[in-house]
Amino acid sequence: MPDSATATPPPVTGKYAIAIHGGAGIEPAKLSANEKAAYEKALVDCLAVGEKILANGGTALDAVEQTIHALEDEPLFNAGRGAVFNSAGKHELDASIMDGSTRACGAVASVTTVRHPISLARLVMTDTKQVLLIAEGAEKLADSYPRLERVSNDWFSTPARRAEWEAKQAKERAKEPAKDTGPASKGTVGCVALDKAGHLAAGTSTGGMTNKPLGRVGDSPIIGAGTYAEDGVCAVSCTGTGEEFIRASAAFHLAALIRYKKLPLADAAEELLTKILPADAGGIISLDAAGNVALRHNTSGMSRASVDAAGKRVVALGDN
């Protein structure tokens, strides 16, 4: 048996915790004071959505879904409105959600007309026998739910994302070395939550990578790679270069370090980001059963915010 210093802390009830991210790859040093303030305000506002639900006794799953709604509607982040363009000049959106109390999960990929892909992912989880639906299949499922808001594909567009895409295409035409730049280069949004009943949940949503090949899918809709939640262990949402997180089964890898190696959350997050994932891959947000928070990245920055079970609050973009 592990000793008390390394044992997973016991679950808590009657308290809540929540953490969000708006993507890794952001470079705080290149942002103006006004730009930093805008990111921080967006994080605070989105975090407040889920915190209110949890404070009022709501479920972790509802907090995750509604918080990601807010993140998907914030044009600063690469999900929903503000999603990046693919190589064809369109938007293909991915999302996943997982209930830690049952390990039920649902995901969608290459969605093009659903305003809130995270809600469609939840319907895959609750209303079908599948885990992942893509493209036309996911859109067909959405047709069955009039309450799901639908939008034209260009609704997701913003001038900033179009400029990023045009710059990326210009570099490729000039055959310059490929390099992801800009705050959306490794962008994703995510939320993890612990409710007062002691249940965990996690969700992730993204527009993918700027100028991605048509049909490219990263880690965000892959359970165990970009999203994972298990009561008594942890909830995690990842952001970064999706292919690296898929290769590492990153989200489940973090849970395995806690469950099998008996590492505390902070140590498990450190090991994942420094020993398992390559440098500049991205970052994670995570909660354990006791409401401890680990926000970790190996990129230049990661926009993030949290409140743990002890009430400690964090809003940050860089290493601070």
Residues with a catalytic annotation lie at 188
CA torsion through residues 38, 40, 45, 46, sign: positive
DSSP string, the chain: ---TTTSPPPP-SS--EEEEEEEE---GGGS-HHHHHHHHHHHHHHHHHHHHHHHTT--HHHHHHHHHHHHHT-TTSSSSTTPPPBTTS---EEEEEEETTTTEEEEEEEE-SBS-HHHHHHHHHHHSS-SEEEHHHHHHHHHT-TTS-B--GGGG--HHHHHHHHHHHHHHHTTPPP---STTTB--EEEEEE-TTS-EEEEEEE--STTBPTT---STTSBTTTEEEETTTEEEEEEE-HHHHHHTTHHHHHHHHHHTS---HHHHHHHIIIIISPTT-EEEEEEETT--EEEEESSS-EEEEEE-TT--EEEESS--
